[in-house]
Amino acid sequence: MTWRSSAGQALVKSCGKRFTAFDHLIKRRRALMSLRDDAMKVRENAYAPYSNFKVGAAVRATDGAVHQGCNVENIAYPEGTCAEAGAIAAMCAAGGSREIAEVYVIADSPTPVPPCGGCRQKLAEFAPRDTPVTLATVDGAELKTTVGDLLPGMFDASHMERT
Ligand code: THU
């Protein structure tokens, strides 16, 4: 009896652990799906009359809040802003956590849209190097990378140690 119950308990414990791991995976997948939905939705609000290339970005901060941004162009072309910059500005404006936990960027491109150089540096300002970034197309293609992989050899505070 004792043997059975302890074996049973061990089995329940091991199943429980596996379930927790599985549950965690499902939750992560669900969170990513909703980040995709947010990026897809905000993309519709992009103001891109000059390039006709609409981009949507969603960042999830470490407090769980999701912030969105779209590209906003200008007749004085260099004054336009990228979707990622908009999402980062929204995160700062919200006043909560300013540490990014996950990023999703989407556009109607033939291959998953890569952030421009400036946006890579902007993301690196608020996200640890191992932060997951998903680049996507509206057709459903996805490329998973990280902030660090997007910006190898990045300029950071360590380079200013002598100041
Ligand atoms: N753009 C973004 O918003 N994010 C990117 O990751 C790539 C490029 C915008 C800037 C501009 O409004 C348009 O896409 C074409 O370059």
Query: What is the pTM for the complete model shown?
Result: 0.85
Assigned domain for 71 exists: yes
Q: Percentage of the chain with pLDDT > 70?
A: 88
Assigned domain for 156 exists: no
Q: From the candidates 84, 125, 142, 161, which is the catalytic residue?
A: 84
Assigned domain for 22 exists: no
Residue 141, pLDDT above cutoff 70: yes
Assigned domain for 28 exists: no
> Domain span at residue 56?
36-151
Domain count of the chain? Answer: 1
Assigned domain for 124 exists: yes
Cβ density class 12-49: b for 16+ within 10 Å, e for less: eeeeeeeeeeeeeeeeeeeebeebbebbeebbeebebe
Residue 100, domain CATH = 3.40.140.10
Q: What is the pLDDT of residue 21?
A: 78
Residue 1, pLDDT above cutoff 50: no
Pocket-forming residues, ligand 1, beta carbon under 6 Å: 48, 51, 53, 55, 71, 73, 80, 82-84, 105, 113, 115-116, 119
- Answer for the pair 126, 88: CB distance below 8 angstroms, yes or no: yes
Assigned domain for 122 exists: yes
Assigned domain for 16 exists: no
Assigned domain for 11 exists: no
Angle, helices 117-126 vs 83-94, to 10°: value is 20
List pLDDT tens digits, range 29-71: 777 779 999 999 999 999 999 999 999 999 999 999 999 999 9
